[in-house]
Structure 1
């Protein structure tokens, strides 16, 4: 009876963890569906851990990484899935939350099941991440050979590294020597994050999506992703920095400056609404929904996706690379097909006061 109670308690603890881990695959699933696979195919449920983890192992490349935009929870023939990919789509990447999410899942699967094949595959994934870190401390994405904060590349890896360094339960098995390699990689990555924070007239602001490996200047990726301060990516960076248990003075100043920027650049009294247009928009009948900015005095603050490097004016961009200043000026497809505004900064401003009180208390103890 005692053994049964232990098993029941263990499952109760593990199920939410795996449900959360499965959510990490959402970005890939969405892109999988958009690639015309449709939604009517068999999938594992979140509690079918070994099936999902074996999927992950089956899709792992020889170099230890994973391709992007595969549904790790599908129950399709694995060889057929891989064979259907064009060769360039099979290559390993950190883009769209690939590789670090697979490593996290495998580590949780190993903690729960004790199956060594899950641990070994996770270690190979970690080795891939270590091997692809640039000397400057950064990692590249898919669309541009540049230091990439877009699509959770830098923050996804550094978040994984931080949990390993702090020996969170799913990573408790990582041996000290390997953990030290992770720590060294984390230190280089964190140093790069701090160096990439955009400084204007001596004042720190936030971050761009991509940076040149040599100059650390913001660069473009796709035609409509021009150099500019990026609210969504910056919010993720700040949330990561606020997870550091004993932040250095440099980290503290970076967070303070970024929080001030989010507060100064919030858009209030406005809300983005999505409107169904079954008959299609007049300028493009293939677009069946529209996005508009409307007045709403009770709306929570929102932020634009991009802001000018020189003066914090927000901008949007057409596929041709032409900047515009409002949703109404955007072509129909880009207006509805990209997240030009979001509530990204709210999580920063919500957590910042308690984080600041904590670091000030830590500082007072040192005096």
Structure 2
């Protein structure tokens, strides 16, 4: 796994970072190196082999970091502690959680594996099932006279909360004072306007899964 920043400087930056797709992007570069993709023809066979091994390790770490509830696989957190691989917090308004955006990025990365193992397949199916279970319809997160708010809007959606509580599984929203709320409309206007608390991007993973599942029994 890779930290948010190198060299290490302390704090949440040292955590293994799925946020901004950091781990998957690094692993995808290495996967291209290992496969001799266009632009990497200069790479030696030794370095290709090392890159392939690094990709395998990145996948192992990613699978180990997937959140579980009992025997049920769910999604992924934004960051995990590098030694225990358990969810950890980041910025003041980013509490420990299961994160739908990061789950989407990771699922897209795993579904690009050419020969996925049974463990990878199980992780993908668990992540997709979790995304399907937490989506909401008839809601829109949009600008109002009082900043961005989640409002009723028949026919809209699906939407996903950015963060879900690790215990209850319900949406949670952090504010700049490190307080945690269960309603995005209850946090400060600055935080509501400055962060994607509700998002539609996870639908990408569900659309991709429809194609992936047709070729992976």
Normalised by the size of structure 2, how large is the TM-score?
0.92
Indicate which of 53, 72, 82 corresponds to 1:213.
82
- Residue 185 of structure 2 corresponds to 328
Give the distance between the partners of 1:173 and 1:202, measured in 2 at CA.
45
Give the Å deviation of 1:192: 0.4
The reply to whether residue 306 of structure 1 matches residue 163 of structure 2 is: yes
**Cα distance in structure 2, aligned partners of 1:206 and 1:165:** 27
Which residue in the other structure is 1:182 paired with?
A: 51
Per residue, is there more helix in 1 or in 2?
A: 1
Note the C-alpha offset of 1:175.
Answer: 2.4
Q: TM-score, normalised by structure 1?
A: 0.55
Quote how far apart the aligned CAs of 1:331 are.
0.6
The equivalent of 1:140 in structure 2 is 3
Counterparts in 2 of 1:150-169, with a 5 A limit?
Answer: 150-169=19-38
Q: What is residue 235 of structure 1 aligned with on the other side?
A: 104
1:205 Cα deviation from its structure 2 partner:
0.4
CA distance in structure 2 between the partners assigned to 1:171 and 1:162 by the alignment: 11
The answer to whether the Cα contact below 8 Å between 2:163 and 2:172 also exists between their aligned partners in 1 is yes
Of structures 1 and 2, the one scoring higher in RCO (CA 8 A, sep 6+) is: 2
Q: How many residue pairs align between the two structures?
A: 211
> Residues 212-265 of structure 1: CA distance to partner in whole angstroms, max 9, x if unpaired?
111211111111111100110110000000000110000000000100000011
1:262 aligns to what? 131
Q: Write the deviation string for residues 158-184 of structure 1: whole angstroms up to 9, x where unpaired.
A: 121222223222223322211111111
Q: Residues of 1 paired with 2:131 and 2:86: CA distance?
A: 21
Question: Contact between 1:291 and 1:327, CA under 8 Å: does it hold in 2?
Answer: no
Name whichever structure is richer in strand by fraction. 2
Cα RMSD, aligned residues only:
1.4
> How far, CA to CA, are the matches of 1:293 and 1:220 in structure 2?
24
Would you identify which runs of 4 or more consecutive aligned residues in structure 1 move more than 4 Å? Answer: none
Please identify the structure whose Cα radius of gyration is greater. Answer: 1
Matched, 1:342 2:196: no
Stretches of structure 1 lacking an aligned partner (at least 5 in a row): 1-137, 282-289, 361-367
Gaps of 5+ in 2: 6-11
2:100 and 2:37 mapped to 1: Cα distance?
29
